[in-house]
């Protein structure tokens, strides 16, 4: 579920209103509600949401990312009960959710660039295709931009650091930007890794674990 017009549901205190003044041809106005673009608005809204649903968060079946709320359960009956708890608390603080962005009873959903289900976590194919279509970077700014986008998925790419190391060296401050044969190959391997990235499965806690450590 999604909080409608997120920040606008957050009332600005009288003490803070003077910092949100705007001057127009008809005079000076003060915002009474939090507006988009304020530096601390996302963190403030996140904290507010966490304070509305603290027990649900601590029980581990609810995730909040700013204005998005995800509820997950093992059974249908359990899911209905948990939704009831969430709706009751949201209603008690008079928060409004967007029906257009409300997805109910799905076995999988897209969240934060991933496809999440009860069994696995994988990269959203649309996001992966965007990486595959990226052209070869021509300068440091472009390689930094490329890693800024694709690096978000490093936990989904096996041997990420080893594959990307030749390209990361191009980001060094005093290094001359030069695409060698090894770097061309690394870029190709790196992009292809998004197309063949394995599923991240939910662990079976009754089986033994093996820990593999990869240093960047």
**Which structural domain, as residue segments, surrounds residue 183?**
125-195
What torsion, rounded to 10 degrees, do the Cα atoms 35, 38, 43, 44 define? -50
φ, ψ of residue 173 to 5 degrees: the values are -60, -45
pLDDT reading at 114 higher than 90 = no
Give the model's pLDDT for residue 10: 76
Give the model's pLDDT for residue 187: 84
- Report the percentage of the chain scoring pLDDT > 70: 98
Q: What is the mean pLDDT of residues 66-94?
A: 90
How many structural domains are present in the chain?
Answer: 2
Give the model's pLDDT for residue 55: 93
Query: Tokens for 172?
Result: 């060094």
Indicate if 96 and 147 belong to the same structural domain.
no
Indicate if 79 and 146 belong to the same structural domain.
no
Last residue in a domain, options 105, 137, 158? 105
pLDDT reading at 81 higher than 90 = yes
Indicate if 76 and 44 belong to the same structural domain.
yes
Query: Tokens for 58?
Result: 């601590």
Give the model's pLDDT for residue 79: 92
Indicate if 76 and 131 belong to the same structural domain.
no
Q: DSSP secondary-structure letter at 197?
A: P
Angle between helix axes 140-150 and 125-132 (nearest 10 degrees) is 160
Give the model's pLDDT for residue 78: 93
Give the model's pLDDT for residue 180: 83
> What CA–CA distance (Å, rounded) separates 112 from 60?
18
Residue 207: inside a domain, yes or no?
Answer: no
pLDDT reading at 216 higher than 60 = no
Cβ-count burial 158-193 (b if 16+ within 10 Å, e if not): eebeebbebbbebeeeeeeeebeeebeebbeebbeb
Indicate if 58 and 86 belong to the same structural domain.
yes
Angle between helix axes 181-195 and 125-132 (nearest 10 degrees) is 160
The band of 214, judged by pLDDT with boundaries at 50, 70 and 90, is low
pLDDT reading at 130 higher than 70 = yes
Instruction: Please report, for the domain that includes residue 76, its CATH number.
Output: 3.30.70.270
Residue 1: inside a domain, yes or no?
Answer: no
Instruction: Render pLDDT for 153-207 as a digit per residue (tens, 0 to 9).
Output: 887 787 778 888 888 888 887 778 888 888 888 888 888 887 777 677 777 888 8
């Amino acid at each position: 579920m999604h909080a409608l017009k997120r920040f606008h549901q957050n009332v600005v205190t009288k003490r803070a209103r003077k910092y949100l003044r705007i001057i127009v041809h008809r005079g000076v106005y003060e915002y009474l509600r939090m507006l988009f673009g304020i530096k601390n608005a996302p963190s403030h809204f996140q904290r507010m949401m966490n304070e509305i649903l603290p027990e649900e968060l601590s029980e581990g079946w609810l995730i909040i990312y700013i204005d998005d709320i995800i509820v997950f359960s093992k059974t249908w009956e359990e899911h209905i009960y948990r939704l009831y708890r969430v709706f009751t608390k949201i209603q008690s603080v008079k928060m409004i959710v967007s029906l257009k962005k409300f997805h109910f009873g799905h076995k999988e959903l897209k969240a934060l660039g991933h496809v999440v289900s009860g069994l696995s976590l994988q990269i959203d194919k649309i996001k992966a295709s965007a990486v595959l279509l990226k052209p070869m970077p021509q300068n440091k700014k472009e390689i930094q931009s490329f890693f800024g986008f694709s690096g978000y998925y490093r936990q989904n790419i096996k041997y990420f650091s080893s594959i990307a190391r030749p390209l990361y060296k191009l980001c060094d401050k005093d290094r001359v930007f030069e695409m060698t044969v090894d770097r061309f190959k690394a870029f190709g391997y790196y992009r292809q890794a998004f197309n063949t990235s394995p599923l991240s499965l939910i662990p079976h806690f009754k089986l033994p674990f093996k820990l593999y450590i990869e240093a960047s």
